[in-house]
Amino acid sequence: MQQRPLARADLITGLVLTALGAVTAFESYRMPRLEERSIDPWTAPGIVPGSLGIIIFVLGAALALRSVAAGAFTATFEAEDDPAEARAGRFRFWLCMALCLIYAVGLVGHAPFWLATLLFVFSFIVAFEWKSDDSPRSRGVKLALAAAIAVATAGFVPFLFETLFLVRLP
Amino acid sequence: MLDGLATFGAAFAVFANFTTLFNVAWATLIGIVIGALPGLTATMAVALLTTLTYRMVPEQAILVLIAVYVGAIYGGSRSAILLNIPGTPANAATTLDGFPLAKQGLAGEAMGLATSASVLGTIIGVLFLAALAPMLAEFALSFGSYEFFWLAIFGIVIAGQMTSFEDALKGWIIGFLGLLVAMVGQEGIHAEPRFSYGNSDLAGGIALIPALVGAFGFAEVLSVMKERAAEMAARTVDRVVPGLADLWRYKRTIGRSGLIGTIVGIIPGVGEDIGAWVSYGAARRASKEADQFGKGSREGLIAAETGNNAAIPGALIPALTLAVPGSAPAAVLLAAMFIHGIRPGPLIMIEAPEFVYQVVWMVLLATVAMGVFGLALTRPLLTVLRVPRERLMPVVFVLCVIGPYAISQRLFDVYVMLFFGVVGFILREMKYPMAPLVLGIILGDILDKNLRRALVLSDGDLTPFFTRPVSAVLWVTTALIILFALPPVRHATARMMGWNKSA
């Protein structure tokens, strides 16, 4: 049975896909036909992506229409089973996303790889394991463990790739 | 036939050395560990290991990847039984009876049965691999551009339908998006860049490995961190080595599930997870103790674990002979073969027949290692499941970043990984299957070149697309799959056949 909040997400996805299909078909139509190279017109580069654009347009429209029939416009969000856990889940997701993006986009390529990795692994573990009611001793153990894993990763991964596989790291 | 046996025997010579033993042992063990950890899938394991093995000699590199693949699909049964969370999607059906058995204090027996069933499933599948691959390759020699075009469309349509059975539309959408992704970059006939807008990185195209590491690695890291942490059902285990009488009692189930798993594996893009579900469903229908299914049935557990492992060699059959992967991990394996200069496809039995038999040996060696580790290392593997995700996931993400970079040495691939990770996560939350995306990226090039070549051959005439015998079989099957997935047709068929909703 289609759930209404999912129907709303399907409607949005359907519209995005319809637009993507249309833009793809249009861009494929604009692609060079390479007449100056006297190629067979049936091998023009835009034929296949153009056809795929049309197919995605049709599939997107079908998804959007189906979601409307399933009640996308009258969608109401049902109460979550466990609102506190749902909130905690969302927090964990955004924290994870932020840390990963800071590492992959902000640090890798801009700082030495070992340092970027050390900082990332340490902050990730600490950020997720930190509890405000931890005793100083248990907090110390957690910090020491996080530091040990971070040092091991920052040491082993560059060793593996640079020394054994002869890959220059970013 | 005798030539085949001689080549099969000669193929073993490549692996009769210490390096092979060493590589099979560590790779299978890593596969089992990765598979056992919830959130780390076989596809991701093979993709990450591809980046770690690309400097090895081709035979050893592919051996490592196959061992990881076999190990991971089996390893997933551990968390399915102990945590009620499938370690990989392939073990979802295993949770239904594995976890109830663990709760009854029979975790050790359940793990032992899962191990034996996985070993037997892989062996059944590998027999079909050895027998069918040469025949299929010979048959595929008669394929022309028309047939390869339809094969690509058929692959997307059937993978979309079978991986998203309740909602085939989403499976097709994701499959065609995969084909579209493959259109980015220089096309294969005139080297004309498409959708690159002057960007030299985009002109190089979207490589499969970064996209997969994103969709199956980063997306999984996000999912795992979002979910609630799992609790283990059993902290101690009983007898692990299964009784032969138990296995003999379920010989029909094992044989049937092995066959079903292999056939499902052969279907493009439809892999171990569907193999397990279909085998499980068939076992329940045929069982005398059907009421026990879902409550801790040994037969159900055996069916699921035989079915998913049999799908591994099954998925390798079309990958080797048609260059069309039977599952998502097989797609990565196919990409790895190309990286190592091996060219799977219809010509493989002419150009490199020994390689097909080497693959048979690789699967067999990995199966032996899987069986030994599975039975001998039960208790140490329990420790692995106790590693908190907060300490594991950052290390996994570091590998997700550096793996794709190591192959091409360009940061662009890291950004591709991130993009596919975020998009993959969102699509997964909206119930889109990921396997057709992988298949689409692989089949894009085949579709693109063969449609245009076929149009040139026929000078734009569409008749041969529909009248050539193999083409006709493929397009009629494709059309029927689409037709029967349409809700009005499904409902009408169900009414006519007298099926009720619960059936």
Which of B394, B431, B455 is opposite residue A42, by nearest beta carbon?
A: B455
- Of A148-157, B88-97, B159-168, the range with the highest mean pLDDT is A148-157
Instruction: Flag whether residue B398 sits within 8 Å of chain A, measured between CB atoms.
Output: yes
B 438-477 near A (Cβ less than 8 A):
447-448, 451-453, 455-456, 459-460
Task: Please give the mean pLDDT across all residues of chain A.
Answer: 88
ipTM for this model: 0.92
B 474-503 near A (Cβ less than 8 A):
none
CB distance B438 to B136 below 8 Å:
no
B321/B330 Cα distance (integer angstroms): 12
Instruction: Flag whether residue B339 sits within 8 Å of chain A, measured between CB atoms.
Output: no
Chain B contact set for A9 (CB, 8 A)? 430
**Angle B65-B70-B73 from CA coordinates, rounded to 5°:** 120
Among A167, A107, A41, which Cα is nearest to B190's?
A41
Dump pLDDT digits (tens) for B279-308: 999 999 998 888 889 888 999 999 999 999
B176 vs A52: CB contact, 8 Å cut-off?
yes
B 189-208 near A (Cβ less than 8 A):
189-190, 192, 194-195
Grouping H, G, I as helix, E, B as strand and the rest as coil, residue B461 is coil
Q: What is the model's pLDDT at position A1?
A: 42
A125 vs B194: CB contact, 8 Å cut-off?
no
Q: Alpha-carbon torsion B133, B41, B24, B368, what sign?
A: negative
Dump pLDDT digits (tens) for A135-159: 888 889 999 999 999 999 999 988 8
CB distance B2 to B44 below 8 Å:
no
A48 vs B452: CB contact, 8 Å cut-off?
yes
Dump pLDDT digits (tens) for A81-139: 677 888 888 999 999 999 999 999 999 989 999 999 999 999 999 999 988 888 888 88
Distance from CA of B189 to the nearest CA of A (A): 8
H, E, C per residue of B23-57: HHHHHHHHHHHHHHCCCCCHHHHHHHHHHHHCCCC
Answering whether pTM is above 0.95, one says no
Virtual CA dihedral for B79, B376, B299, B294, nearest 10 degrees? -20
Indicate whether B417 pLDDT > 70: yes
Report how far apart, in Å, the C-alpha atoms of B348 and of each of B72, B133, B357, B443, B485 are. 27, 10, 11, 18, 35
DSSP state string for B232-274: -S-SS----SPPHHHHHHTHHHHHHHHHHHHHHHHSTT--HHH
Chain A contact set for B177 (CB, 8 A)? 56
A92/A160 Cα distance (integer angstroms): 30
Which of B177, B401, B451 is opposite residue A48, by nearest beta carbon?
A: B451
**Angle B256-B262-B268 from CA coordinates, rounded to 5°:** 140
Structure tokens at B152: 């690509």
Among B45, B14, B81, which Cα is nearest to B305's?
B81
Instruction: Flag whether residue B62 sits within 8 Å of chain A, measured between CB atoms.
Output: no
> Which residues, in sequence order, are bridge partners of residue A108?
A111
Phi then psi for residue B69, to 5 deg, are: -60, -55
Ramachandran area for residue B230 (φ above 0: left; ψ -120 to 50: alpha; else beta): beta
- Of B52-61, B101-110, B204-213, B361-370, the range with the highest mean pLDDT is B361-370
Chain B contact set for A55 (CB, 8 A)? 176
Which of A108, A149, A165 is opposite residue B401, by nearest beta carbon?
A: A108
B187 vs A56: CB contact, 8 Å cut-off?
no
pLDDT tier at B503, thresholds 50, 70, 90: very low
Least confident of B112-126, B167-181, B186-200, B376-390: B376-390
B487/B500 Cα distance (integer angstroms): 15
Domains of chain B, by residue range, sit at 2-164+180-188+206-467
Residues present in chain B in total: 503
Mean pLDDT of A44-56: 95
Virtual CA dihedral for A116, A120, A122, A123, nearest 10 degrees? 130
CB distance B196 to B405 below 8 Å:
no
Instruction: Flag whether residue B387 sits within 8 Å of chain A, measured between CB atoms.
Output: no
Burial state string for B399-413 with b = 16 or more CB within 10 A and e = fewer than 16: bbbbbbbbbbebbbb
pLDDT tier at B409, thresholds 50, 70, 90: confident
Instruction: Flag whether residue A144 sits within 8 Å of chain B, measured between CB atoms.
Output: no
What is the helix (H) or strand (E) element at residue B404, kind and residue range?
helix B389-408
Which of B172, B226, B414 is opposite residue A108, by nearest beta carbon?
A: B414
